[in-house]
Structure 1
């Protein structure tokens, strides 16, 4: 059914800057770059704590999504830095794959945002994300930014879990408020669409309280 969204996506393209498909951080306007650096900086600084929280809440399953924000809606609140509203970043989560778990080729429905992935534990193994002909091994480059309406897949041929920061940021545009507003308007429909796209995922939107010492 995503072909029905093609006219809308074409209008979005006209409202946004040129889309190279696969992006580098320096291709974003400076204020977008600051938000990206801020969010990734929190993940880098609190990596061990965040992974421990995920492992405590994601017991078994093929794939999990540990969600702090989802299209601007706040979910897990145990990282204070993620409890604020960002101007450009609308989804903050961590994607978890169990050992030797991969996706098939797939694509997202809307070009209002871009996907930012950052591998928290890059190991030298057959673990990569591929968008079209561009294959990115996490041990070579832990950061990958792309338009997720392009065909892509994520592969974990490793005998351990793969943890990737999963962030959606609105497309750079001369009209960021308009793009953000459109995303807010369609977010309810997008969530319904994503319930199909993420049917094989365990969505974790709340965390177990941490144990306290007696």
Structure 2
């Protein structure tokens, strides 16, 4: 039976910078996972992610959660050294700075894997570029939103000397392309599911 979840293992450990519920922050990671939860989930996410990691024989993985049907909405895009893995559910769109509407489950999760050596500052820059690309994509598709109220993002790279990942750099351009393509594909899949 096909898994309801998505697990990505790396060939060697990478640095991770994320807001993930499981091993978020700046850590070394052997991979990441998107964990499927019920749309009314209100459990102990720290304990549940740890159980998920152990049950799947994983160690030092960064973990994201979503109520979206991962098998049906996952989209992957590659440009240059960058691969973006995206799952989208947009039942709770929001605009940064505005009071959000009544909460409903729905999350955009983005994991951006960069096969290059970056400084931590460049990884933070990559998060900024990916977020800009996410917002552009939402607006382009007609959503009056900058994201959802529960978005997750993670950037994974090797330790290195590359200092910048903004929109003026080749790396930033590749980040933007991968996020825009994968997010649009994932949103289109999610829209088809919802009819």
TM-score, normalised to structure 1's length? 0.27
**Higher RCO, 1 or 2 (CA under 8 Å, sep at least 6)?**
1
Greater fraction strand:
2
